[in-house]
Every structure is written in structure tokens, then in C-alpha cells.
Amino acid sequence: MDVFLDPANRQAYLDGFLTILKLTGASALLALALGMLLAACRVSPVPVLRALGAGWVHLFRNTPLTLVILFCFFGLYSAVGVEFSEDIHVNNYWLAVTGLSAYTAAFVCEAIRSGINTVPVGQAEAARALGLSFSQNLRLIILPQAMRSVVAPLGSILIALTKNATIAGVIGVAEASSAMKALIESNGDQTIAIFAVFALTFVALLVPVGYAFSALANRLVVRR
């Protein structure tokens, strides 16, 4: 365990997990917003929007995240010149957030769409009978109920996103997995201790999130 007695190593460990949390937080917010928008597209009466939503979901659900993030770097940044910052580290961070959000939004969209399907038809019919338009219906009646029934799947998506954030290392973002790799490479004799610390940190971060979300889901579920 003395590898973590070195302040520099401890700092690398802390920075790695801080980066994971920052990547997760930023991507989760963006993915939630984008995912709700895509879900609205997928259930809308306009065929073009439905196709747009479906296309996004098919594209990102079937593509490996490694490819998505590499494409953000080689395609968006190197080829097209999308630049978030002069600082290469900050730039790569935001490129990774772009990839993670676009990818995760596809899953958020599908979760919300399945949530919309759990809302009884009578709710939407009553809303339409009162003269509510599609967007009012969605905003005021359907989505608030649907969101409550998708708390558990959204929790799973958040957990997966946290783990997926480790892939940002592929474009040089100094997150936890690359910190672990660097520590193992310079302190191979303590591999097991290093792995145990990093793995158990993920367990300590994510297992409570899982239980919190399922408890929340039980509380919020619309009893019918």
C-alpha cells in the first residue's frame, strides 16, 4: 500500500476520480437534456422528427463508445477544427464530454420513450379532451408521469456513464483508469493494492448510487 504514501501518487488517484466525476456530471446533464429532446422527437406526430430521433438512437446505440470518442478527436477536432479551448487538456475534456453525451443521450431517449409507454392511454385522452395540444400534453401530463417511472433506468444509465467515462482516457484525458495504468507501470510490485484501491473506489461510488436510485424509484413510482 505504500504506493499511496507518495503524495504525487495520491494526487494522481484523486485527480483521476475528480475527472471521472466532472466528466460524468457534465455529460449527464447534457445527455438528459438531449435525451428528453430526442424522446419528444421520437413520439411526435411529425414523421421527419421521428426519423431523426430513431436515426440518432440507431447510430449511437450500435457504435462502440471508443469509436465515438475517437471520432470526436480525429473527426471533430483534427479534421473539422472544432475547438473548445486553446489548452489541449481542456479541449480533450470537452471533446470527451461531447462524445459521452451524444452516446448516452441515445439511451436516455429510449428509457424515456419506454416510460411514456407506461402512462395509461386515458391520461393522454383526457388531456386531449381538455383541448391540450401535443406539446402541452407531453409537457404537462405525460412527461412528468413518465419521468417518475424511468428513475430506475436513468439510474442505471448514470452508473454506466460513470464507468464509461474511463474511456475518455483514449484521447488523453487523465481519468481514473489512466491514472491506475500509470501507477501500475511505475509500481508493478504493488499491482494488486493499486487495483484494489481503484476498483473499490468505483464500488464505493456506484453501489450506493444504485441503491439510492432504486429507493427513489420506489418512492416516486406512480401507483396505479
Tell the smallest beta-carbon distance from residue 130 to another protein (Å): 13
The span from the CA of 191 to the CA of 150, in Å, is 39
Does 37 participate in binding another protein (rule CB under 8 A)?
no
The answer to whether the CB of 91 falls within 8 A of the CB of 85 is yes
Nearest CA-CA partner of 205 in 154, 158, 168, 153: 158
Q: Which three cell numbers stand for residue 183?
A: 501507477
Nearest CA-CA partner of 105 in 143, 154, 152, 148: 154
Tell the smallest beta-carbon distance from residue 59 to another protein (Å): 7
Tell the smallest beta-carbon distance from residue 220 to another protein (Å): 14
The string of DSSP letters for 164-192 reads: HGGGGGGGT---HHHHHHHHHHH-GGGHH
Tell the smallest beta-carbon distance from residue 177 to another protein (Å): 5
Options 3-11, 51-59, 87-95: segment touching another protein (CB under 8 A):
51-59
Considering only residues 9, 27, 92, 104, which one is a binding residue for another protein as defined by CB under 8 A? 104
Considering only residues 87, 121, 223, 224, which one is a binding residue for another protein as defined by CB under 8 A? 121
**26 or 153, CB closer to another protein?**
153
Considering only residues 8, 188, 223, 224, which one is a binding residue for another protein as defined by CB under 8 A? 188
Q: Which three cell numbers stand for residue 188?
A: 508493478
Considering only residues 11, 89, 117, 139, which one is a binding residue for another protein as defined by CB under 8 A? 117
**91 or 210, CB closer to another protein?**
210
Does 63 participate in binding another protein (rule CB under 8 A)?
yes
Does 97 participate in binding another protein (rule CB under 8 A)?
no
Q: Which long-range contacts (CB under 8 A, 24 or more apart) does 209-214 make?
A: 209/155, 209/158, 209/159, 209/162, 210/155, 210/156, 210/159, 212/155, 213/151, 213/152, 213/154, 213/155, 213/156, 213/158, 214/152, 214/155
Does 177 participate in binding another protein (rule CB under 8 A)?
yes
Considering only residues 4, 17, 84, 134, which one is a binding residue for another protein as defined by CB under 8 A? 134
Options 1-9, 83-91, 152-160: segment touching another protein (CB under 8 A):
152-160
